[in-house]
Homo-oligomer: A and B are copies of this chain.
């Protein structure tokens, strides 16, 4: 993509309304634009990151044997009255009356609707287990939306739902999601730690939050250092195997947010040199809640002896749009965003230091064509701008690699390659720079 054609309205000044760094950087980098309080449009740069995150989430859900469907955003209030949550949910639920004065709502979550889908389709224990997910926009009418996409009102979420015959089978589904979440976040360059959690309005008996560590996080977290050092992606996973040992491995040490923290237990269980006390951001939350929805909604299956039993359910959420902000909170510096390669909006930024110089233009066109031919997404800064502005913008939007082409280097066939994360710069022959980039992933 040529920058002269790319819709990228970056800002030079820090927007005054943004209190946290991810919000500030997303506005400055032209990733989002506020449509109204807590509601954002995703501009092309932000949209590319959102799609990359969504793709990773989808791939990992599919690997875990979860099937994708798509439920609508607008739901009838009737189902929520059946489950008893319509009155409970309070003002966070966006309530709507349609033209016929029917009570509707913009779904803040989908336990009721998926249970309705299940009960309309599955009648026998033989058709279990069922594990379904969707990635859809939700709405929660926060009283004071803030922190950009981290606490917006309209947000993109992946939510999965499991249906099983009994607790043991439901725990297998829980473990699948537990393990797949570890891997999902690791693929985005995040270290997410599962922590015992309150179940809140979803309810249930067993629940873990997945928390990433970031200095600007919303809550304090306390955990054992071993969780941080372990490489989640080191071994392949067979989702049909028994995942209980892995679940136990990841829950064997203390790991709690301030909500559940107990300093005495922390100090008793964790040796002093292994204690971690940091700030964290919630990026996922999983629940087992048994028959909380299946019983009132009549989602039952028949057993071999013809008895009807309500199914055991769980639900499993990942904040897809929130992750865009969370990754920035975890990965930035004073100059801007530092994207992990897996979610970066482009792989490489190509900077032409002297647009109009025949040598620079030709070298850039060459590099641009070669990188794209090799399947790399390239943002080519072909603007007539001074070098300083180009460097600043490229650092701000945080692509993993930069190739800098200037008139002096070009004469001797040299370009500069910069790694955004380390800041390391290297003068290289054009072919060597290309080889480095094409080998990087």
Contacts and interface: CB of A to CB of B under 8 A. Distances in A.
Interface of A: 5-7, 9, 30, 33, 35-37, 39-44, 46-47, 50, 65, 67-76, 78, 91-92, 94, 96, 98-99, 102, 104, 106, 113, 116-117, 120-122, 130, 132, 137, 139, 141, 143, 153-154
A65 B9 CA distance: 18
A70 B94 contact: no
A71 B39 CA distance: 9
A61 B41 CA distance: 19
A36 B102 CA distance: 10
Given A47-B68, A73-B137, 9 more contacts: A30-B121, A33-B120, A41-B72, A46-B69, A72-B154, A73-B154, A74-B154, A94-B98, A106-B106
Nearest to A6: B67
A68 B345 CA distance: 13
5 contacts: A7-B67, A35-B71, A36-B74, A94-B96, A96-B96
A37 to B, nearest CB: 8
Contacts of A33: 117, 120-121
Contacts of A76: 35-36, 39
Q: How many copies does the complex hold?
A: 2
A43 to B, nearest CB: 5
Contacts of A75: 35-36, 39
A47 B72 contact: no
A91 B99 contact: yes
Contact of A117 (B41, B91, B92, B98): B41
B141 A72 contact: no
Nearest to A9: B121
A99 B7 contact: no
B113 A41 contact: yes
Contacts of A153: 74, 98
Contacts of A78: 36
Given A76-B36, A117-B33, A141-B99, A68 B44 contact: yes
B70 A42 contact: yes
A7 B118 CA distance: 9
A5 B9 CA distance: 47
A47 B69 contact: yes
Given A7-B132, A120-B9, A121-B9, A41 B71 contact: yes
A43, A65, A117, A154: most-surrounded residue (chain B CB, <10 A)? A43
A47 B70 contact: yes
